[in-house]
Every structure is written in structure tokens, then in C-alpha cells.
Chains A and B, each alone.
Chain A
Amino acid sequence: MIEPPPPSNPDPVDPAAGAAAPLRYVALTGNPNSGKTTLFNLLTGLRAKVGNYAGVTVERKEGRLKNGPARREIRILDLPGTYSLSPNSLDEQVSRDVLFGRLPEVPQLHVVVVVVDASNLQRNLYYATQVIELGYPTLIALNMTDVAESLGHVIAADKLARLLDVPVQPIVASTGQGVPELREKLVSLALNPPLIKPRLFCQLPGLFRIEATGLADLLANTFQNRPWQATAEALLILSNENALASSRTHYPPAIQSAVAAARKRLDAAKVDWRGAPIEWRYARVAEIQQAATTELAAPGETFSDKVDRIVTHKIWGTLIFLALMFIIFQCIFTFADYPMRWLENGVTWAGDQVGGFLPPGDLRDLLVNGVIAGVGSVVVFLPQILMLFTFIGLLEDTGYMARAAFLMDRLMSRVGLHGKSFIPMLSSFACAIPGIMATRTIESPKDRLVTILVAPLMSCSARLPIYTLLIGATIPDRVLGGLNYHLDLGFTRFNLFGFLGLRGLTMLAMYLLGIIVALLMAWVFKKTLLKGEAPLLIMELPPYKRPLFRVVLQHIWERSKLFLTRAGTVILGVSIVLWFLATYPRSSQREAQFEARRNAITRSFNPVTLATGPGSAAHQAAALEEQLAAIDQAEFGENLRHSFAGRMGRAIEPILIPLGFDWKIGIGIISSFAAREVFVSTMSTVYNLSDAGDADEGMKTLEQTLREQKRPDGQPVYTTLVAVTLMVFYVFALQCASTVAIVRRETNSWKWPLFQWAYMGALAWTLAFLTYQGGKLLGWG
């Protein structure tokens, strides 16, 4: 049966569309920190990352309007924040290109929502008026009205709407107040777009008007898709060098030379074509702002100002910065220990359960030794990593990041960068990927590249498992200077000065090593490969915001999911592959040899003497067990040596010997090429953590196992010096496929990620070499 066609949809925009209702695209744009992403999340129900500093959203994000009209899907685009339509950095360029309809992959926009920070109206309206001039159906989301009110600014939305000639909806995005009304206005604009009227907020005097009109005609003839934006666009490329410079490929030579000629004529007439349009617009914007605002309070010191008096104070500011870093460190190092131990017990328990349940054989070995030991050894680090992300998330969401950049700018200027480069570096302590993305806010391409090149030298969360494991296995748990002050919480005890212990200090040293070398390398790059003058620093310090509990929880949740997904995919995959590589090829000849040795030993125990006395029987049985276990271990070792993994490890052993590493560590290094934390899971497989053969004994912790490893000459493998050398190696080596991929994407070439990989690898080997050989010379080996 053929269904009757559905009743046609009365569509004022596109009556021909019929049943297939086309999408409607809505872009959110505005100054950085005006609350665009918060609003985006509310409108779409998605969970994009928000933060209180410029540079959190550096790409456009797309989502579907939740509770939108039933018959037509509305898509919302979240754009990076920008102060003007003339872009100064890559993230701002994304916004400009979307709004000008220049990206082929982004369809024509139907509505633009300008998110305006009501507490900072003039500067926000400067941008809003620029966007309104583009001629889209525009809606102003007047956000942060709560902040504005607390400062005593009362803004009459209707008056503002009249002056700007676009609808205005006051909202508080953090609580959702006013958002339903905004959604309604948005839907009605999207479905019934008003007629487009060209508008210009600045009064162009004489000569400027003539030049702009001429250029607008030329633009309208060249690009016929959006004629109504021609005047605004002409004004922009005429008056701003960046606006033209960032679109050389977009504008044909005819237009570029027309612009140059027009500027020359304006110069001759002594018109300040760079500054005048800005002044005109600000003059108009100030009028609008004053007309729409009633001031209830005299401008005074705000809450942020008061906080900043302490947080950026000469002495207190520095102390607070150091104290914050210490607290974060202490928490990650000491407090995370307890939940981690619980998880560790859980993993051991799971291994024992599966081990006891399955019959001995390859399957049991794969599950217990490959999967549970491998994935489990990484999952154990979840609490530490979450704590790190929570702290960095809090710093980001309160607005502290920009202050850290303010405090550190001077130091960064010594190596030729500026404070803005410090933010990506601080973020990289959690993970280099968001750090590298955040470099898009850096105006100078060279500085951005330098920051990208050094950001992965910051010790990220994937290094934590390696540091923690090696420190736990080899560094004594001693506190310096007898600072043993314990805090008793009933269920557990903390040492308040845990970070002053040898272990904490070793960890701190690794972090510092990364930071210092990053700064040195930045300096070297700025002096050699990427020479360039120090760029201008113009950075907003956004007012402090109380972090939203919901946002912080979401952030933690997203991070746990990401971490566990990674453990369940990458690490699981590598663990399984590694188990195969470490188990095969087998040799029946070798198996027979070991079987013969086992039989010989068992036979040498006389069952008659065993029965003579209970004490000695138990004693002898234990001795037998021990010898058999030793043979099992020897067999495992021999098998590993001849396995595929063992052959790979031995192949690279020659370059590892000068660093004090053996071929088993080599297996760990090879397998962790794609992700550093895989080193930990590999070592649990390489050292046969499940102690194959007698499952009843239970799994040992990886730490203990490392301590027990011996070289052929009977010396321990993991001396303190070897462990420290290995950590130094991991501070520098770029063992992270995701970072390489993101650097490729962000620099648009293979050249830089390969260079980065090579220089970091060279650093890793050289500094590990110096550490090991230097340590030996000093007699520590």
C-alpha cells in the first residue's frame, strides 16, 4: 500500500522544500568568556568544555537544538571567542571564516546569536555591532546579567533592542534563567527570518565612505552569494591589515590591489584608515550602552579586584602560586595512594578469581597475564589522573589560568615567549593534547609553533603511572628532616609532608626537569629555527567565577570515561598483542627440556624420607615447590627471550645498554611508543605477574616484582639509578601517538611532528645516558 503524501509543511522560507525539511544553522559567537559554550551546552544538551579563560573553545563545535521544533532540525555551532572580526589568531580566524561563509564544510548560516557579556557591555557591543552589520537574522543573548546587576548595571533589554534593531534576550547561562525564552526567539527567527536590512553602526565621513562603497561594489560583484555583507566586509578589509593578510587566498588580486590603492588615497588625504573606523564604532557603541544602562552603584572595587589584590600580589601572589602547585602535587602523590591501593587489590582479586576458575593453559594465561594484569595495571592509576584533571579543571574554570599567565609572563619573556604560552604549558600537565589545541590563541605563528614543540615536555598524566611505579619500586619511603606529621582521618593516615619525602621529591624533580628543559628548548628554538620578535601581549583577566559544581563533575566524568575507554581499547589491544608476541613462537624442544628438569627434581625427592617426620616433610615439600617455581620462571624467561617480543627487545638492546636498561625494559619502551602508560602494562606481562603455574599463591604487585628482578650476574635490574634513568627517559621521549597526530593536524604538515619526535627522542637518550653514566661515575650504580 502506498502511503498518502504527508500534508505539506507551510514553510515561509522555502516552500519548495516539501517533506524534506532542511536543516537550519545557528551560530553562537561573541567575545571570549562571554558564556557561549555554557549556552551551547544548555541549548544542545551536550557537554563541551567550558572554562574561564580565553582559548577553551578553539574549534567550532556543532550540536542539535534540544526541544526544538518537531518538524525541523536546528543545528547550533559554538565558535571560538573573538574580540573583533579582524582575526589576530587562528581560533579567531575560525569564527570569522564561519561568519563570512568561507568554509565549504559549513553550510550557510540562518541565524547568528551574539552572546554579549552584560557586565562588560561596551567591548562586547563593539563586536556585536560588527556581526549585526553582516546582515544575518541576529539575536543578542545578553548573558551574565547576574554579574552586571551585582555591579549595579541595570540594562534595559528593550531599549538595547531598539537601538541595535535586533531582538535582545537577557539570560544567565550558568543557571539557565531566560534560556527558554531565548530558545523560543531563536526558533522563531530560524523559521521566519525577517527581511535583511543593511546596517552600519559607524558614520563614515566623506572620502572613507566613497572608498568603502567602491570596494563594496567590487566585492558584491566578485562574491555573489552574500551581497548584503559587502559594505561591512569592505570596511573591514579596508581598515584592517590583519583582515586582509589572513585571507590572501580568498581575495583575488584585483581586490587586493584595489584595497592597496584605496589605502594610498586615504593616506594622501591624511585619513587614519586604521584607527578611524574603530573610533567611530566605539563612539556609537558607548552612546548605545549609556542610553540602555542605568547605573545603580558608583564604580568601585569588585570582588575580583579584591581577590586579585592578594592573588597577584608581589609576595602573596608568588607564594600562592607555589602553594597551589604544592597542594596539587601533594594530593596527587599522597592522597591518591589510598584509592589506588583499593583498585590494586581489586585487580589482584580479579586475576586470582579468573586464574582459579579457568584450567591452566593459553587462555588462562592470556586473560590473567595479558588482559587483567595489563589493563589492570593501568586502571589502577585512575584516582591519580582524575585528581590531576580536577585541579587543572578548577584552575581553568575559576579564571586562575589567566592570572598564572600574568604572573609568569616575565619569566616566559626571558625565553622569548609570552605569558599566553604558559597556559598551554600548564594544561599540558594534564594532557598535551588540549594544551596543544590551546596554542591556537597565540597570535604569532612562530611562538605558537615553539609552544607546540615544547608543550609535551611537561609531564602529562600518562607519565604518572610510570613515575609512580618506578619510584615505589626503588626509592625508599623516607621523609627528610624527620617531618613526620600525620593526619589521622580514622580510616587512613596521611603524612602532611609526604611531598617532602624522598619519593615526593623525586617525582617533583621529574616535573621540574621537564619544565626547565622545556624553557631551555623554547629559548633555543626562538634563537635558531623560529626567530622572531617578541609579540605584543594583550590579554584579558576575566573576573573570577565560582566554578559550577555541575561543570566540574562533568569534567571529571568525561575524563574518567576517556581514561577507561583508552584502557579498554588501546591498552587492551596492546596487552593482547603483546601477550602473543611475548608467548610465541613456542618451541616443543625447549618445553621438553624444562619438563625433563622438572621431572628430575621431583624424582630426587624421596617419598620415603618425605614421610618420616611432619616438620621435615613440610619443609621438603616447600623446598620442592620453590625449586619447581624457579624452573617455571626460568622457562618463562627462556620463552620470552626467544619470543617475538624478546627478539625485538634484544635487537634494540645495544642502544639501551649505555643507559643501563636490559632487553626486557626494551620491550616496554617499544610497546609504549604509542602511549606511555603501556610501559606499565607491558612490564606486568613481561614479568609474568600472575606467576603462571600456581594461581593459589596470588598475584604479586608489580612494584614487588620489579624489585625482585635480577640481572644474569645476580645484581638487581632496578637499582635506584636505573629507575631514575628510565624516568628521565620518559620525561623526554615523545611516546604518544595522539600527540604526534594532533601536532600534525595543528601544524598541517608531517615536518613538525617528525622533528618534534626526533628532537625529543634525542633528548631522551642523551639525558638518560648522562644520568646513568654520570650516576655511575659518582658511584651510585
Chain B
Amino acid sequence: MPAALQPLTSLALGATGTVADIQLPAAHRPRLMEMGLLVGTKVELIRFAPLGDPVEIKVRGYNLTLRRQEAEQILVTCAA
């Protein structure tokens, strides 16, 4: 059964998903990709900042923060 696509931000805290699509505008996408966030990369949702934004994720073994708005445009499939 193919796993359903969902925004990265809707993962449970501590859950890992696999990036399936990055729907950011073309101008913003390369920077994210150079940081190692590509289609097929595993990402873990670590936490949201106390005021709800930004998001902290773990990718390729290091911690990265993104704004919620961008993180919502990263679609993942959840293994579980």
C-alpha cells in the first residue's frame, strides 16, 4: 500500500518521514537541497519553537530549522 503524502509539519513529534516532494518556489528550493534535504531523504520532526514557529528537523544527522510556512510545503511519506 503506498503511503499517503502529508506535510512535514503534520508528522508526530519524533516521527520520521521520507521527503516525497518539495513544493517550494524554484528560487528557494536549491538552498534547501544543498543543505541535504532532497526527495528521498529521511527527515525527523524534532519540535516547534515555543511560539509555534519555526520548526526544527533532523536531516542527514544534523539539526536544521525552517519556518513553518516552508516546512508545510515539504511533503513526506510516513513509514509507519
Contacts and interface: CB of A to CB of B under 8 A. Distances in A.
Q: Is A bound to B?
A: yes
Size category, B interface:
20 to 34
A122 B36 contact: yes
A538 B31 contact: yes
Given A537-B67, A538-B64, A540-B62, A274 B50 contact: no
A312 B48 CA distance: 9
B51 interface: yes
Given A123-B60, A410-B52, A541-B63, A282 B27 contact: no
B68 to A, nearest CB: 9
Contacts of B64: 538-541
Contact of A312 (B30, B49, B60, B61): B49
A120 B60 contact: yes
Contact of A84 (B34, B49, B54): B34
A123 B36 contact: yes
Contacts of A407: 49-51
Contacts of A537: 54, 65-67, 70
Given A120-B62, A411-B51, A536-B67, A274 B31 contact: no
Contacts of A299: 61
A317 B50 contact: yes
Interface in B48-80: 49-54, 56, 60-67, 70
Interface string A274-305: 11001100100000000000000001000011
A474 interface: no
B63 A540 contact: yes
A86 interface: yes
B28 A536 contact: yes
Contacts of B26: 274
Contacts of A541: 56, 63-65
Contacts of A121: 61
B34 A409 contact: no
Contacts of A241: 27, 30
A304 B46 CA distance: 12
Interface string B5-24: 00000000000000000000
Nearest to B53: A410
B23 to A, nearest CB: 13
Nearest to A153: B61
Nearest to A299: B61
A315 interface: yes
Contacts of B28: 536
A279 B31 contact: no
B65 A539 contact: yes
A522 to B, nearest CB: 17
B16 to A, nearest CB: 10
Give the bracket for the number of chain A residues in contact with chain B: 35 or more
B38 A278 contact: yes
Contact of A275 (B33, B53, B63, B67): B33
Contact of A282 (B30, B31, B36, B49): B36
Contacts of A282: 33, 36, 38
Nearest to A318: B50
A60 to B, nearest CB: 22
B27 to A, nearest CB: 7
A88 B56 CA distance: 21
A408 to B, nearest CB: 9
A274 B38 CA distance: 12
A275 B27 CA distance: 11
A406 to B, nearest CB: 5
B32 A538 contact: yes
Interface string A241-278: 11000000000000000000000000000000011001
B34 A278 contact: yes
A419 B50 contact: no
B28 to A, nearest CB: 5
A278 B33 contact: yes
A312 B65 CA distance: 12
Contacts of B34: 83-84, 86, 126, 278
A484 interface: no
Contacts of B32: 538
Contacts of B56: 308, 312, 406, 541
Given A122-B61, A540-B64, A541-B64, A406 B30 contact: no
A278 B30 contact: yes
A599 interface: no
Contact of B33 (A279, A304, A410, A411): A279
Interface in A629-655: none
Contacts of A83: 34-35
Interface in A398-426: 406-407, 409-411, 413, 418-419
A83 B66 CA distance: 16
Contacts of A151: 61
Nearest to B59: A123
Nearest to B61: A120
A457 B60 CA distance: 39
Contacts of A543: 62-63
A122 B34 CA distance: 11
A285 to B, nearest CB: 9
Interface in A86-145: 86, 88, 119-123, 126
B33 A406 contact: no
A391 B14 CA distance: 33
Find the residue from A304, A538, A540 having the highest chain B CB count within 10 A: A538
Interface string A544-569: 00000000000000000000000000
Nearest to B33: A278
A210 B20 CA distance: 29
Contacts of A120: 60-62
A543 B56 CA distance: 13
Contacts of B63: 304-305, 308, 540-541, 543
A751 interface: no
A406 B28 CA distance: 20
A514 to B, nearest CB: 22
A274 B60 contact: no
Contacts of B49: 312, 406-407, 409-410
Nearest to B27: A241
A314 interface: yes
A536 B51 CA distance: 18
Pick from A86, A88, A240, A409 the residue with the most CB of B within 10 Å: A409
A123 B62 CA distance: 9
Interface in A468-517: none
Contacts of B65: 406, 409, 419, 537-541
Given A241-B27, A282-B38, 20 more contacts: A83-B35, A119-B61, A123-B36, A126-B34, A151-B61, A239-B30, A275-B38, A308-B46, A308-B47, A308-B63, A312-B49, A317-B50, A406-B54, A409-B49, A409-B54, A410-B53, A418-B67, A536-B66, A541-B64, A543-B63
Q: What 3 A-B pairs are tightest by C-beta distance, nearest first?
A: A410-B51, A541-B63, A278-B33
Interface of A: 83-84, 86, 88, 119-123, 126, 151, 239-242, 274-275, 278-279, 282, 299, 304-305, 308, 312-315, 317-318, 406-407, 409-411, 413, 418-419, 536-541, 543
6 contacts: A122-B60, A304-B63, A308-B47, A406-B65, A538-B65, A541-B64
